[in-house]
Structure 1
Amino acid sequence: MSWSARPAEAALDRRAAALTGRALTRRGLLAGAGGVALAALAPGAALAAPSPAGSRSTALSVRGADLSFLPQLEEAGVRYRDLAGRVRPAERILAGEGATHMRLRVWVDPPAGYSDKARALSLARRAEAAGMKIVLDPHYSDFWADPGKQPIPASWPQDLPGLLTKIRTYTRDPLRDFARQGTPVDILQVGNEITNGILWPVGQLYLPDGTQQWQPFTDLLKSAITGAREAAGDRLRIMLHIDRGGRMADTRWFFDNIATYGVPYDILGQSYYPMWHGSIADLEANLADSATRYAKPILIAEISYPWTLADGDGRGNIVTEATPLPDVDQFPTTPAGQAALYERVRQVLLAVPQSRGLGFLAWEPEWIPGVGWQPGAEAPNDNLTQFDFTGRALPSIRAYRPPRA
């Protein structure tokens, strides 16, 4: 997820989705008022690409958070307190509540101080010391990559053959670095919210004229996965991550094509932000459908929800009083309402067919005021965190507990 200009990106995403929908309708690939993708399968039939590592996980066995901003926040003077008011490192607070995994973002050549490989390796050592496993999130870009933008790093080749080689070695080598320091990666996601492709324009999936480039996009995914297997073998779990938590038609269209083009993966990853991705009922229906259709464990790779509509740094937030929240009557924008949303998501995951609801990763729950999305900018999601503006833990962190606790 990129929070730098989310309203503009959401608008781009809507336009892209509308364009894609029109293009697919013209080709006879969508049907019905909801635009549900048609597949050459009976409803409920499994459509799964080969999976080298298989399905090895149980429901809610992954409970964690992306804490990539944590070192910068600490350098800015931010300190965190647990529910009892004790000052402790944020990862220790979450691990103490039952968190099992830390997700780490990696950019190729970001602004100084932001999430490069060295920062990720250092934070991985802290995760391991706290008893947490690693989810690695290479963006394959110099800075933010998401459905609205996936720029090729400035130092990388600009052609498909060169990129196929580069993405393979770039994926392989950091995985070896993590293993060498005693913090092997448990889950690798190949790119960040890759709904519209990666490494634009070469691997851009949906072009402005409606053309879809599935072959180069999936070739790039396969090359990255080959590099990952060279580094870590089948013990590493590969996740493909899109941003369609409550959108069944879009999810089907993406992963049906992933299967058609034979991309091997182990985990189906989704972002779920209610303000953009639908209601809890939409999420529940989509996860149940995907679990049956693709026979894969499903991880909510990003999730957050407001605990207030106040603005911690006074410089603007993404979610405000004007932002539609589909279930706000159930989940008001209060600490208790945020906690209730996380509890409901736990229930949804536990109800996914055949225990395929792998778990969830909160996105940057520690990103309170102190560090901007880019140097000199604001922290636009300081009301979506699991710590208040002073660093005190909020009740929603109890959602990290084991399933029967």
Structure 2
Amino acid sequence: MPSRSSRTAEEQSPGLSRRSVFAAAGGLALAGFAATPAHAASTAARGSGGALSVRGADLSFLPQLEEAGVKYRDLKGRVRPAERILADAGANYQRIRVWVNPPKGYTDKKRALGLARRAKQAGLKILLDPHYADFWADPSKQPIPAGWPTELPALTEKVRTYTRDLVRAFAAQGTPIDMFQMGNEITAGILWPVGKLYPEEGPQRWSEFATLLKAGIEGARQGAGKRPLKVMLHIDRGGKLGDTRWFFDQITAQGVPFDIIGQSYYPMWHGSLADLKANLEDSVSRYGKPVLLAETSYPWTIEDGDGYENLIKDASALPDVARFPATPAGQAGYYEALREILAGIPGGNGLGFLAWEPAWVPGVGWEPGAGAPNDNLTQFDFSGRALPSIRAYRRP
């Protein structure tokens, strides 16, 4: 999920929306695409006992929140680190965001490595999420980090070596990553303007975009060495079938190698649960890849915890509010419904879900001096006590 300043309803990638009609009509030919058979993906997708193989959260704000004095309590009221609370509830993955040169205190490489040590100590696997930017990167902005090259050949090499060295650093401290996310919500490209898919003028830059993606993926695999590494491509079109087809048809045509289709899904922006189910099932069938909800969240209240306007302040923004009201019980029901949808993806190809910043209670702003626009979308209340929805991390 991007910063508050850039997240509105469906305006982030207008070019993509305009083109979705073509995707819905069939998109590009997929001849020659080597799909993974559903039965082969099934074992990897599910743990024993039919559990989703990925159940986790992005907790990248956690060190800042603790430094601000926030304490977390489990469902029994015991004070414990947030990652331990989620791990004890059944979580097995932690997603870690990393920026190149962010404002002081935000998640740079050093902070990300510290989060990785904590995650491994809690028994969690690691999904690394480099933004390839100094600060927030999402469908409305993907700026090249200051000091990086701005011409394609040199930028391509920088992406490869930066990624290689980043992944190696995690392995060197004994916390090798288990899954790699090539950019953050890359629906409209990365490293603008070089890899921008929907420029205001001129042709689409799919070739340049694919070149940059391939460089990052190559660097990640080089950094991982002999350790197997799953690569995910992540967009923000959870319930948008036409847009998803348009993006991944093009990616397939460009020959970008990846293992997992990642989606952000927020029902207030990305359609109903029925839309999500249809899109995920279509992706598995069309591309032969498992699917993962790399980001999701749902409000447990409409109240605001820090006096800073929240993204969701009106329950009418929720497409199924009668079934899932903005209450702790309604939030828990939403996560249970997600589990059911993912578990029902054919061939066991619904890998699971990652809640986005479920510990981001009041105390730290999305940028220095700002507030938290997501404090009613967390899985901890304003005081830091766990909400019933954490039970969705259970294994069975």
Structure 2: which amino acid aligns with 1:214? Answer: W
CA contact (8 A) 2:35 2:289 kept: no
| One of 27, 33, 53 as aligned partner of 1:38 | 27
Q: Does 1:16 align with 2:29?
A: no
| One of 89, 96, 101 as aligned partner of 2:81 | 89
The farther-off stretch of 95-104 and 208-217 is 208-217
Q: Which residue of 2 aligns with 1:5?
A: 5
Q: How much does 1:201 deviate?
A: 0.3
Q: How much does 1:46 deviate?
A: 9.7
The farther-off stretch of 220-229 and 320-329 is 320-329
CA 1:323–1:106: 2 relative to 1, 3 Å: farther
% identical equivalent positions: 64
Q: Deviations over 1:163-200 (max 9, x none)?
A: 10000001100111101111100000000000000000
Q: How much does 1:36 deviate?
A: 4.2
CA contact (8 A) 2:302 2:315 kept: no
Q: Which residue of 2 aligns with 1:188?
A: 180
Q: Which residue of 2 aligns with 1:227?
A: 219
Q: 1:219 aligns to what SS in structure 2?
A: helix
Q: Does 1:366 align with 2:359?
A: yes
Structure 2: which amino acid aligns with 1:236? Answer: L
| One of 158, 161, 173 as aligned partner of 1:169 | 161
Q: Does 1:200 align with 2:187?
A: no
Runs of 4+ that moved beyond 6 A: none
| One of 236, 244, 247 as aligned partner of 2:229 | 236
TM-score, L = length of structure 2: 0.94
Q: Which residue of 1 aligns with 2:138?
A: 146
Q: 2:129 aligns to what SS in structure 1?
A: strand
**Aligned partners of 2:18, 2:315: CA distance in 1, in Å?**
26
Unaligned ranges ≥5, structure 2: 47-51
Structure 2: which amino acid aligns with 1:382? Answer: D
**Aligned partners of 1:334, 1:46: CA distance in 2, in Å?**
48
Q: Which residue of 2 aligns with 1:76?
A: 68
Q: Which residue of 1 aligns with 2:256?
A: 263
**Aligned partners of 1:143, 1:387: CA distance in 2, in Å?**
25
Q: Does 1:136 align with 2:135?
A: no
Instruction: Give RMSD over aligned pairs.
Output: 1.9
Q: Does 1:331 align with 2:324?
A: yes
Q: How does 1:285-304 map to 2 (within 5 A)?
A: 285-304=278-297
Unaligned ranges ≥5, structure 1: none
CA 1:18–1:346: 2 relative to 1, 3 Å: closer
Q: How much does 1:85 deviate?
A: 0.4
Q: Deviations over 1:284-306 (max 9, x none)?
A: 00111111111111110000000
CA contact (8 A) 2:139 2:187 kept: yes
Q: How does 1:58-137 map to 2 (within 5 A)?
A: 58-59=45-46, 60-137=52-129
Q: 2:156 aligns to what SS in structure 1?
A: helix
Q: Which residue of 2 aligns with 1:389?
A: 382
Q: Which residue of 2 aligns with 1:398?
A: 391
CA contact (8 A) 2:19 2:243 kept: no
**Aligned partners of 1:326, 1:212: CA distance in 2, in Å?**
33
**Aligned partners of 1:260, 1:384: CA distance in 2, in Å?**
37
Q: Deviations over 1:212-234 (max 9, x none)?
A: 11100000000111111111146
Q: How much does 1:20 deviate?
A: 3.8
Q: How does 1:151-162 map to 2 (within 5 A)?
A: 151-162=143-154
**Aligned partners of 2:6, 2:63: CA distance in 1, in Å?**
24
**Aligned partners of 1:285, 1:169: CA distance in 2, in Å?**
38
Q: How much does 1:209 deviate?
A: 3.9
Q: Which residue of 1 aligns with 2:49?
A: none
CA contact (8 A) 1:46 1:293 kept: no
CA contact (8 A) 1:36 1:248 kept: no
| One of 297, 301, 305 as aligned partner of 1:308 | 301
Q: 1:318 aligns to what SS in structure 2?
A: coil
TM-score, L = length of structure 1: 0.92
Q: How much does 1:330 deviate?
A: 1.0
**Aligned partners of 1:207, 1:46: CA distance in 2, in Å?**
30
> Would you say how many aligned residue pairs link Structure 1 and Structure 2?
387
